Amino acid sequence: MFDTESLVQQYELTACIQCGKCTGGCPIALKSALNPRALVYQMLRGEEFELVSRGELWDCTTCATCGLRCPKGVKAVDLIIALRAQWIESGKIPTTLRAPLTATLNQGNPLVLPREDRSLWADGLNVKNVADGAGIAMFTCCENAYDPRVQAMPRALVNLLRAANQDFGTLGLDEQCCGSEVRRIGEAGLFEYLRDDNLEKFRAARVSKMVTTSPHCFNVFKNEYGKHAIPVEHYTQTLAHLIADGALKFSKKFQATITYQDPCFLGKQNGIYDEPRAILKAIPGAKFVEMDRSRERSVCCEGGGGRMWLEGTNSQVRLANDRIAHALDTGANILATACPFCFLTLSDAVIATGNEEKIKVMDILQIANAAI
């Protein structure tokens, strides 16, 4: 049992006018029992319930559309995360989360792989350690560091930054999980540990500016690391600036019709809509087309909020599958994105919907790298 009144106070739920704009905008609500408005109302009524009967709490992707739509500034997603935290606190951790959380504590990544393998993605690239003096610290998402399907992205970023003569390095084996997904799963204690430990490591390595491969790391560093946070950019911002300044030039053609999936943590949550498009529009030979539901009206790929390790209550209907249909509808043969989670969920969906011959998912990093 939990104290509804303290949740009402902490998340300022009295502001809610029960208009339902959160639930109407929720990409999950149409296919799940998850109803952000009704959850807020339950808190306001002081109605207690058994958390374990509410499996739909694990359906939320923390895309944060609910909070973005709310006319009163209520962030229902924060309430959902808080309820997950109560659940985790009770020790009844969903089975598929146990290994990732334990590995994040012990090995610094949720992929259950050894800490000392973190830099294998950079094999042969001779990227220097940021502690040896570098202008920018490149922060690689655990997914990008360990998952062979997305290791090409950080390698591409290294290549692009070098092409633009940027002075950068990595934290090497001192790099570990940013804690974004850990926090959203509700493991507040582990998140705080990671945050403090990372801030200490950044300080020790004299990091003054960071660039991330994932919008999730970018968001947590920018918005949830507190007052000691280090200035951070997502790579789409960095590259867009370098292109605008003339430091990064494309010389090869990349003949394709490209559409773009806005990662929720980049677009909806941080308002970065233009930079990824600016990069894609600068690619020689490429034609950029927009999906109808884009930017503020984009659709979540269902990979955030711990959903990389959780199926949810309705795994038959996947948003990523819808998204492939949307992309195909534009006539694009490349679906670009700028997030390792989006890349993986959408790539799986291309296979699941049998569209391997029609469309390919690529990270903007891969496209840009192919054009220099």
How many Cβ atoms sit within 10 Å of the Cβ of residue 17? 11
Round to whole Å and give the CA distance between 171 and 131. 7
Which one of the spans 156-164, 242-250, 284-292, 347-355 is the region binding another protein (CB under 8 A)?
284-292
Told to check if 307 binds another protein by CB under 8 A, we report: no
Round to whole Å and give the CA distance between 102 and 271. 33
CA angle in degrees (0–180, nearest 5) for 176-222-80: 85
Q: Phi and psi at residue 242, in whole multiples of 5°?
A: -65, -35
For residue 335, the one-letter residue type is: L
Q: Minimal CA–CA distance to 121: which of 175, 62, 67?
A: 175
Contacting another protein within 67-96 (CB under 8 A):
68-73
The helix (H) or strand (E) run that includes residue 259 is strand 256-260
Comparison of 196 and 322: residue with beta carbon closer to another protein: 322
Which residue is listed with tokens 């109407």? Answer: 24
Comparison of 24 and 94: residue with beta carbon closer to another protein: 24
Which one of the spans 190-198, 276-284, 325-333, 348-356 is the region binding another protein (CB under 8 A)?
325-333
The residue within the footprint of another protein, chosen from 3, 132, 329, 356 (CB under 8 A), is: 329
State the nearest-atom distance from the C-beta of 287 to another protein, in Å.
13
Comparison of 231 and 331: residue with beta carbon closer to another protein: 331
State the nearest-atom distance from the C-beta of 296 to another protein, in Å.
4
Size of the site for another protein (CB under 8 A): 36
DSSP SS3 for 234: strand
Q: What binding mask, one character per residue, do residues 15-54 give for another protein by CB under 8 A, x or -?
A: x-xxxxxxxxxx--xx----x-xx----------------
The residue within the footprint of another protein, chosen from 48, 132, 200, 296 (CB under 8 A), is: 296
Round to whole Å and give the CA distance between 235 and 368. 11
Contacting another protein within 224-263 (CB under 8 A):
none
Q: Minimal CA–CA distance to 220: which of 117, 276, 141?
A: 141
List of residues contacting another protein (CB under 8 A): 15, 17-26, 29-30, 35, 37-38, 68-73, 289-293, 295-297, 325-327, 329-331
